[in-house]
Chains A and B, each alone.
Chain A
Amino acid sequence: MSDTAFPGWLLLILAGGLTGAWMLRRSWNLRQGSTGWRLGGWALLTATLVWPAFILGPAKGPFLALALIPVAALALVAASHELRAAKSPKAARESLAPEPADRPTTRWRTTLRWLLAGPIGMVAAMGVGICYAVWVPGEAQTRLLIGGLIVPVVWGACMAWTLADSRIVRATAVLLGTALVGFGLSILKGFA
């Protein structure tokens, strides 16, 4: 891969992303006979994600595509926006997205919910990440790095779950149990 060809490859990824998104949009617009466009669009987007791996680098190529394809698709969405006449808030109440649940709560439940989403979720996520690093075979650096990556993912999932789940005692039990099991198993084996 030469330096002069590099921008050309990036433009080709953008073109692939734009064409793939356009095919999906065409399928989205059609009431009948949309399957071909949909399959073709997904096939082109997948190909645009895969071919850079062979030319621009096995990891670098797909990651470049993961950044460039969204921009091409968003440009298409922006270009095909629909302009509507302004509506009063009253008139706009129809056909709106679902409303968030309006659940009864108390101060201690709210406090516990945020404790679960914050520090308790973090400790549980640490337990899972460290347990992975300790128990899964492989190079020490790889286990630690993947264990480290697991921490924000599990913590984020814990946040999403505990802030949504109305059965707060169940969430507390699961997170505390996860933390205890994760750290317990890790200390039991130790890092080698």
Chain B
Amino acid sequence: MNAPTSSRSWTPSPDFVRAVLKGHSGLGLAFAAAIYLVCLTGTLAVFANEFHRWENPGAPRMASVSDAAVQTAYQAAMRQAGDGVEHVYITIPSPQLPWLMVTADKGGELSAFLATENGELAGPAADSWTEFLTRLHVNLHLPRTIGLFIVGLTGVALLSSLISGILAHPRIFRDAFHLRLGGSRRLQEADLHNRIGVWALPFHVIVSLTGALLGLQLLIVGVLGLALFKGDTDKVYDLFLPPHPVDDARPAPALDLGPMFAQIRSKVPDGRVSYVFIEHPTEMGGAALFNVDARPDRLSAVDAYTFDRTGKLYYAKTVDDTNLGERILGALGPLHFGTFGGGLLKIVYGILGLGLSYLAVGGVLIWLARRRDKGRPAPGWEKVWTAVTWGQPLALAAAALAAVVAPAVTVSVLIGIWGGLTIATVAGARAFDRLTLSRLGRGLTGGLLVLTAILHIALHGSGDPMALVVNAVLLATGLGLVAPVWKGMRQPA
């Protein structure tokens, strides 16, 4: 590769541009489907809380809850789950998730319960669709180590594509306002690809970098442990996590949260307890970790307090006590999922996430259009890529519909529906021409979204306004996808 040379220092040589473009194209093609899937599911996962509320429209909603009600609910959930509960996770009502929810973990099997304002259990919480969606984004439903690595690798490939994309397009900033639609297909796709790529570059870098680090965390920690701590990865985690309670497996009554709540109220009178994690609740070595939202002006806004069974505070870390590394760690999740700026920021993340997904789709479309322009069309790959592009929304919509029709459906069934449709759309691509495939994909996805919204309203009612909002978005998106297909079918050929 020749070094950038030109009369102007900012203009790289044509050979340099062509070489980088070659790498950009190769990397993009190799990872396009993975980037598209991870970005599309990530875009939807930004709205995980909203989907969770949509799955439970009848859940008792509340702005706040008393400490006594939390204790009552947690003990009731323990009784309901039976002996052998190892961990309990308590979600305290917040504006995003206005519920009291208790999740009991028994040997890795999770049971989530919703509770009323008084702490009485209102029933199990449905979460199969939300769980399916978020796990698909986080580890593709593969074994955790492998899945996380593949998603992290996809993040690195995206980051690399951003670097090579900027280097390969010397006019990308000069052409920043060109958006020429409707003329040459290749020019249109290139304009869309480059405009989305350059204007949303900060967002793309933030989500790909945070996503890559979150995905590669196990590998990085493993190598750090190997190289620096003689293979003891716990020493790396110990630097960031609260210490574990002293191990004492002797049986004990369910841990009492009351005295701990009282201490937190006196320490952080303006703070809001957002989450409680109880470790070994019925053992003498039990402990409880409280997350307190104390600094709304911070990306990493949570204070952590950990108590042992007797109510003795043995670990406290406030936001003001954290160093830069701990603040970066706390900011990774909010920056990646857009949870630090309320509903408007989530919508912005949704729009930019769709744009990022389209970068992957458009990159392949440019490659296909280039081949066609050069007289070497690849009709087989055009069909496969159309099937991938529209097969994923279709498969995700089908999984959502199944979760609406049968709220007790397991995540495994949803994986089967999504996986089956993914394989079927790609395998069946050769049976149709590209235009028909595109119309089928749009029409079926739109139809399923409309059906999902209608059935949700019919079967589950609309107790939660958020369910209404989600259904309205599904309806509008569904109709938006179906309408042009319907119009196209009615026009004479």
Contacts and interface: CB of A to CB of B under 8 A. Distances in A.
A101 B20 CA distance: 8
A104 B20 CA distance: 15
Interface string A112-154: 0000010000000010011001100011111111111101110
Contacts of A84: 180-183
A66 B206 contact: yes
B220 A151 contact: yes
Interface residues of B, number: 91
Contact of A134 (B228, B345, B355): B228
A92 B18 contact: no
Interface string B342-358: 10110011011001000
Interface in B3-58: 14-15, 17-27
A70 B200 contact: yes
Given A81-B181, A149-B328, A156-B163, A98 B18 contact: yes
A151 B208 CA distance: 13
Which residue of A85, A97, A133, A141 has the most chain B CB atoms within 10 A of its CB atom? A97
B163 A160 contact: yes
A71 B352 contact: yes
Interface in A90-116: 90-93, 96-103
Interface in B212-253: 212-213, 216-217, 220, 223-224, 227-229, 236, 239-240
B329 interface: yes
B373 A164 contact: no
A94 to B, nearest CB: 9
Interface in A55-105: 56-60, 63-64, 66-71, 73-74, 77-78, 80-87, 89-93, 96-103
A89 B184 contact: yes
Given A67-B341, A130-B224, A163-B23, A92 B183 contact: yes
B179 A166 contact: no
A133 B236 CA distance: 12
Interface of B: 1, 14-15, 17-27, 152, 155-157, 159-164, 167, 169, 171, 176-187, 190, 195-196, 199-203, 206, 208-209, 212-213, 216-217, 220, 223-224, 227-229, 236, 239-240, 296-299, 323-329, 331, 335, 338, 340-342, 344-345, 348-349, 351-352, 355, 369-370, 372-373
Interface of A: 1, 6-7, 10, 24-25, 28-29, 56-60, 63-64, 66-71, 73-74, 77-78, 80-87, 89-93, 96-103, 117, 126, 129-130, 133-134, 138-149, 151-153, 155-167, 183, 186-187, 190-191
